[in-house]
Amino acid sequence: MAHVICGGGGVSEDALYAQMFQERKRVFIDLLGWELPALDGRYEVDQFDIPATRYIICASSEGEHLGSLRLLPCNGPNLLGSVFPFLCDGEPPAASDVWEISRLCLSRSIRAAERRSVRDQLATAVTRFALQQGIQAYCCVADMPWYSQLLSFGWRCEPLGLPQLVDCGMIGALKILITDETPTLMEQAGVWSRSLAPLGELAH
């Protein structure tokens, strides 16, 4: 089930999904060179893209995918628990109120000025999703530049273990704590997208 933000212009969910998986292929396989299979040579889909998976997709009013990310509940299969558990000091998070963020992807065709805005909208939407669903924290596996970016959103991050050097570089597992204070911190960091959610709007 996709949470579509910014309209989508009446384009069907299936069409947006298809664009998302195509864009994931362009970003993760073509651009970043990750060793992932491409379905039909066009789509990047893996064993974690299942019915329980949620997605947040930012689309233009013409129905074009601008950016997206994937959310997996930690009480089910997820990257950190299944593929990267060694990045955690203790057991990887497995509670129903902790979810994992992965495959954050911005369309390669959008320009720099818009990239920042789409990224901020995704960060805002994922925070709103957490506050509305009672999610206490997100976790994710990050390389070092992404780790810095997550901190720059104003999110309170806690490492789940020391970062480690693997084939593709240094990666670390971290937890992002979401509280009532988070929107204000993101506002201070210049990341909260007011067009998506005025600060006073959130009530659960």
Partner 1 sequence: MYVGPKLAEFLTRAVEVQSDDDIKEMVGEIGLLLKLPKFALVSHVDLAHETDGVVAISNYPNDWIDRIMSQRYYLDDPLHAASTRRRIGFAWHEAADIITMTRRQHGILEEAAAFGLRDGITVPVHAAGDYRGTCSLGGEHPVTMSPNIVAAAQLVAIFSFEAARRLAYARLGRDRPPVPALSPRHVDCVGLVATGLGDTQIAAKLGLSEVTVHQHIREAMRRYGVFKRPALVFRALFDGQICFHKPY
Distances (CA, A) of 135 to 74, 101, 132, 138: 11, 12, 8, 8
Q: Is 30 in the site for partner 1 (CB under 8 A)?
A: no
User: What 8-state DSSP symbol labels residue 90?
Assistant: S
172 contacts partner 1 (rule: CB under 8 A): yes
Contacts of 101 (CB under 8 A, 6+ apart): 69, 70, 71, 126, 138, 139, 140, 176
Q: Which of 115, 133, 136, 202 touches partner 1 by CB under 8 A?
A: 115
Give the shortest CB-197-to-partner 1 separation in angstroms. Answer: 17
- Least distance between partner 1 and beta carbon 114 (Å): 8
**C-alpha distances in angstroms, 51 versus 21, 29, 135, 158, 170?**
15, 23, 19, 29, 31
Binding span for partner 1 by CB under 8 A among 39-47, 61-69, 91-99, 167-175 = 167-175
Near partner 1 by CB under 8 A: residue from 85, 136, 149, 202: 149
Residues that bind partner 1 (CB under 8 A): 89, 111-116, 143-145, 147-149, 151-152, 156, 158-165, 169-170, 172, 188-190
